[in-house]
Structure 1
């Protein structure tokens, strides 16, 4: 089975404040469904209050990201499913729950991980 990253940037999720609770409940329901189906690996949102840093091989920490990297934020889920079609079906469920389109990417196979 292949692991897929399903994600969206925080700017894509435009929800009125009074509907945030309903969105959270809908998203948590999809997460629970994925867990019950045995396909959930990991998920969560990037904590945008914690600034990113780069750490080099010598342990030096530098504020920021790679210059060519666009800003990373939003929500992420990693699912392990039998096919791309299955990943797209889960992405559609998350899109409905989060009220925004989801990006889907496959992880490369690494037998050692």
Structure 2
């Protein structure tokens, strides 16, 4: 099995009514429950859009922790799911289910294999 990150940028969500969003929650939770039942679920969650953001940067040789995003950008992560799927096709299938349930696009990326520890 391979771990995959399925995620979306907040800007992909679009403008919708509160009623529309409330209707999507149960659909998304149904997909999460389906992932759990299939044994591929590792973690899933949405990020707070207006919550605090912190950056850690050690590129200067000393660690600096600061408030706010490291890079000013128009796009930012809105939420993600981590699944342990059999292959790319299975990961794409779960991304498709999430895209349909949430009502906005999802992107899939494979994690590099973990190094073996001795």
TM-score scaled by length of structure 1: 0.86
Residue pairs, 1:10-21, within 5 angstroms:
10-14=10-14, 15-21=16-22
Per-residue CA deviation, residues 29-52 of structure 1 (Å, 9 max, x unaligned), is 000000011100011011122222
Per-residue CA deviation, residues 1-39 of structure 1 (Å, 9 max, x unaligned), is 111111111222233222212100000000000001110
- C-alpha RMSD over aligned residues: 2.1
Tell me the matched-pair count. 113
Deviates most, 95-104 or 66-75: 66-75
| Alignment partners' CA distance in 2, 1:28 and 1:106 | 23
Residues 69, 18 of structure 1: alpha-carbon distance in 2 compared, 3 angstrom cutoff: closer
1:24 maps to which residue?
25
Q: How big is the shift at 1:111?
A: 3.7
2:12 corresponds to 1:9: no
Structure 1 gaps of 5+ residues are none
1:85 maps to which residue?
89
TM-score scaled by length of structure 2: 0.83
Structure 2 gaps of 5+ residues are none
Larger gyration radius, structure 1 or structure 2: 2
2:44 maps to which residue?
43
